[in-house]
Chain A
Amino acid sequence: MITYLLCFVLFLVGLFGVLTKRNIIKIVIGLMIMELSLFLFFALIGYVDSGVAPIIVKNMGKVKFVDPLPQAIVLTAIVIGLATNAMLMAIAIRLYKKYNTFDIRKINSLKG
C-alpha cells in the first residue's frame, strides 16, 4: 500500500513542476516525471506474491510467474513517451529561436 502512495507523491512532484515553473524545459521535465510515476504504477499492478521473472528457459518445472502483461504495456508506453518528449523538446528549441526567451510568461502572443 505504501508503494502506491509513493507513486502518487511522484505524480504530485511532476504536477508541481508543470504548474509552477517558468522555464519551458522545466515544464517538459515535469511532464516526464509524471509519466515515470505512471510506469511505476503499472509495474506494481502486476505483482504476484513470491513470483519470478516471466522468462521461459529449458527444463523448468512449475513456477509462479509475475504477470507479464503490464510489463509489455510499460515497454510500449515508454516508446510513446519517448516520441512525445522528442516532439516537445524540438518545439521548445524552435520557440527559443523565435522568441529569444525560455520564459513562459513572455510567450503570449495568442490572446482572447
Chain B
Amino acid sequence: MTPIVKKVTQLVVGLIFLYGIYIITHGHLTPGGGFAGGAVIAGSFILLVLAYGSDVLKLRKREEGSSVVESTGIFIFLALAFGALFIGTGIFFTNYLPKGVIGELVSAGTIPLYNIAVGIEVAAALFTIFLALVIYKEEVLK
C-alpha cells in the first residue's frame, strides 16, 4: 500500500483498538456491548494486515493462535454460566455477583464479565475468518 495509508494506519490503529475496548466495557450503560466492540477490535487488526501486507504480522501457514483465543473466549463464557450452578440458588445462567448502583461502571453483576468474554471471542473469530480467507492452504488427502 502507499506510504500515506501506512502512515495513517500507524497513527490510527491504537485509537481504534482503545475505542473498541471502551464499547465493550461500557456495554451495560450505553448501546453496544460484546459483539459491536469485538467487531471494532477485529477491524483494527484487519486494518493492520491490509495496510502492511501479511509479512509484518509474521502470519504463519495456519491460523492456530487466533483459533485458540476464540475457543478460550467462549470457554470462559461457558465456565461463568456453569459456575452459577454451584453458587446461590443453583440455576444455570443466574446473575450471582452483587449488583451495585444503576449507572456506575462496576455494577450489574456478571454482565460486564460476559461482555468481555464475548468481545474477546468475536474479535478472535472475525480475525480467524479473515485469515482463513486470505491464507489459502492446499488441502491434500492422506
Contacts and interface: CB of A to CB of B under 8 A. Distances in A.
A pairs with B? yes
Interface stretch (A14-22, A42-50, A54-62, A104-112): A54-62
Contacts of A97: 136
Interface residues of B, number: 9
Contacts, number: 18
Question: For chain A, what secondary structure do more than half of its interface residues adopt (helix, strand, loop), or is it mixed?
Answer: helix
B82 interface: no
A56 B133 contact: no
A55 B103 CA distance: 11
A77 to B, nearest CB: 12
A93 B133 contact: yes
Given A75-B35, A79-B35, A89-B133, A58 B30 contact: no
Nearest to A76: B35
Interface of A: 53, 55-58, 75, 78-79, 86, 89-90, 93, 97
Interface of B: 30-31, 35, 102-103, 129, 132-133, 136
18 contacts: A53-B31, A55-B30, A55-B31, A56-B102, A57-B103, A58-B102, A58-B103, A75-B35, A78-B35, A79-B35, A86-B129, A89-B133, A90-B129, A90-B132, A90-B133, A93-B133, A93-B136, A97-B136
